[in-house]
Amino acid sequence: MSAVPVAPPRRLLDAEVDGVVVRVPEGATILDACRDQGIDTPTMCYADNLTPINACRVCVVEVEGARTLVPACSRTVEAGMKIRTDTDRVRHSRRLVMELLGSSVDTSLASSDWHRWQDEYAAAPDRFGAPTDPMEAGERDRRWAGHHHGSPDPSRAETVSQPVKVDNELYVRDYGRCVLCYKCVEACGTDAQHTFAIAVAGRGFDARISTEYAVPLDVSACVYCGNCIGVCPTGALMFSSEHDMRAAGTWDEDRQTVTNTICPYCGVGCELELHVQDNAIVKVTSPTDNDVTSGHLCIKGRFGFQYVQRRKKDRT
């Protein structure tokens, strides 16, 4: 007999996606229905382990009878709904969102899917101007200093003009890569950690992710679970190990292997994915479809891996 409670059966609904009748359980989103049909839908602010927040609108589709395009990641399917995913209007809107995001921040470290979608939709972010170059951190420091001493540059959004924040040994915050997708805020809040160490501060061009009163992480409420890093889609939040290796030019995902194991620290039994390069663990994640973690970890599982690497020669 299974010890896992079985959810009550859900009513099935019929709808149409691109002219094909689909049957999905009540509560399924349009994105779910599209995925069932093998329809590739671009997303940025959506994650399987977070509540949809509708921040980016890159996933929009057309629904017959609706005046505006609707976000596939959060809109639930209704019986009889007629959905179109590949119209000129949808493609135009998705492309424009990609271009606006890509022109406002550096998305070069976003997922390979994101780059594939950019190619597929022929997105050309450069037509809105180049994003801040991540290698120009010094330049950003100067602009930030100028901005906060009476010479604001109104052409620059607050979030991307910040210097890279290195205020602890575990992870780095480079908001020059932040698309304000809110995923980190959700992971830090009610979707996973319930710590509420970060939120969106400011509005419009001033909007940016911040700790309370913009204090450094070590004096904020942050407990260093790293769940925000786990969900960040652009590399704005990054393990210090990865950040340092990228800066040194040694980060190479082609040379990395991923080994799944169980966290050794306590009886919860979280599943870990150890990313290993040159026989050293370089970062730790957890599968989003894991029943125990849903991709989220605590500080020990996420960052407490150095002891594994204390080889004999280091201990003498």
**Residue ranges binding ligand SF4 (CB under 6 A):** 178-184, 187-188, 193, 195, 197-198, 209, 222-228, 231-234, 236-237
DSSP E strand boundaries for 220-285: 237-239, 257-262, 271-277, 280-285
Output 43 or 241, the one with its CB closest to ligand FES. Answer: 43
How remote is the C-alpha of 41 from its chain's centroid? 16
- Rule CB under 6 A: which residues touch ligand FES? 43-46, 54-59, 71, 73
HSE-CB of 102 using CA atoms within 13 angstroms = 23
Q: Identify what 17 binds: ligand FES, ligand SF4, none; CB under 5 to 8 Å per kind.
A: none
Secondary structure of residue 200 in the 3-state scheme: strand
Is residue 164 a contact partner of residue 138, using CB atoms and an 8 Å limit?
no
Minimum CB distance to ligand SF4, residue 228 (Å)? 3
Q: Identify what 59 binds: ligand SF4, ligand FES, none; CB under 5 to 8 Å per kind.
A: ligand FES
Residue among 140, 163, 164 at smallest CA distance from 153:
140
Output 17 or 225, the one with its CB closest to ligand SF4. Answer: 225
Output 13 or 58, the one with its CB closest to ligand FES. Answer: 58
Q: What is the DSSP letter of 155?
A: T
Minimum CB distance to ligand FES, residue 43 (Å)? 4
Q: Identify what 103 binds: ligand FES, ligand SF4, none; CB under 5 to 8 Å per kind.
A: none
Output 140 or 183, the one with its CB closest to ligand SF4. Answer: 183
Residues 6+ apart with CB under 8 A from 310: none
Q: Identify what 234 binds: ligand FES, ligand SF4, none; CB under 5 to 8 Å per kind.
A: ligand SF4
Minimum CB distance to ligand SF4, residue 150 (Å)? 28
Output 13 or 45, the one with its CB closest to ligand SF4. Answer: 45
Minimum CB distance to ligand SF4, residue 212 (Å)? 11
Q: Which pair of structure tokens corresponds to residue 161?
A: 């003009």
Minimum CB distance to ligand FES, residue 296 (Å)? 20
Minimum CB distance to ligand FES, residue 28 (Å)? 15
Output 238 or 276, the one with its CB closest to ligand SF4. Answer: 238
Output 90 or 222, the one with its CB closest to ligand SF4. Answer: 222
Say which residue the tokens 């671009």 belong to.
42
Minimum CB distance to ligand FES, residue 31 (Å)? 7
Residue among 289, 286, 307 at smallest CA distance from 297:
286
Q: Identify what 73 binds: ligand SF4, ligand FES, none; CB under 5 to 8 Å per kind.
A: ligand FES
Residues 6+ apart with CB under 8 A from 189: 195, 196, 199
> Which residue type does 22 have?
V
Is residue 246 a contact partner of residue 233, using CB atoms and an 8 Å limit?
no
Counting other chains too, the contacts that 266-273 makes at CB distance below 8 Å and 24 or more residues apart are: 266/300, 268/292, 270/297, 270/298, 270/301, 272/297, 272/301
